[in-house]
């Protein structure tokens, strides 16, 4: 008889899958930032080490204006490919008060 997988087990597996996927995204963001002269600010559950089965990836793209849109698209595409919901913002369109609020809890990826 096949083993029944509980909801708790499914959620635990999904949380682990998302943690691994986010780690892969962060590694890729490091490479992309170094190659294209910008950085990424990761905040929320990923930056605070509390990714669960429902977590998304929150990212602010901090690149020169000419490279900003491509960097946003890159993050969106990576997350789509890995099945991670993403909220990505351009730093140029983000209010200073919001940046100040998340600042202490932000993972800066140069």
Give me the mean pLDDT over the 31-44 stretch.
97
Domains and CATH numbers, the chain: 7-109 (3.30.460.10)
Which tops the pLDDT comparison, 108 or 3? 108
Residue 54 vs residues 11, 18, 85, 110: alpha-carbon distances, Å: 8, 9, 9, 27
Give me the mean pLDDT over the 16-25 stretch.
97
pLDDT for 1 equals 78
Whether the pLDDT of residue 3 is over 90: the answer is no
Which tops the pLDDT comparison, 42 or 110? 42
Q: What is the pLDDT of residues 48-102, one digit of tens each?
A: 999 999 999 999 999 999 999 999 999 999 999 999 999 999 999 999 999 999 9
SS3 helix, strand, coil % of the chain, rounded to 5? 60, 15, 25
Report how far apart the first and last C-alpha atoms of the chain are (Å, whole number). Answer: 51
Quote the CA–CA distance of 91 and 84 in Å, as a whole number.
Answer: 21
């Amino acid at each position: 008889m096949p083993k029944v997988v509980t909801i708790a087990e499914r959620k635990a597996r999904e949380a682990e899958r998302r943690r691994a996927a986010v780690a892969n995204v962060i590694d890729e963001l490091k490479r992309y930032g170094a190659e294209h002269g910008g950085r990424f600010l990761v905040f929320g559950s990923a930056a605070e080490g509390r990714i669960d089965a429902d977590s998304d990836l929150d990212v602010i793209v901090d690149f020169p204006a000419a490279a900003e849109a491509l960097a946003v698209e890159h993050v969106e595409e990576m997350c789509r490919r890995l099945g991670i919901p993403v909220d990505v913002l351009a730093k140029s369109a983000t209010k200073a008060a919001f940046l100040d609020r998340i600042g202490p809890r932000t993972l800066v990826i140069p």
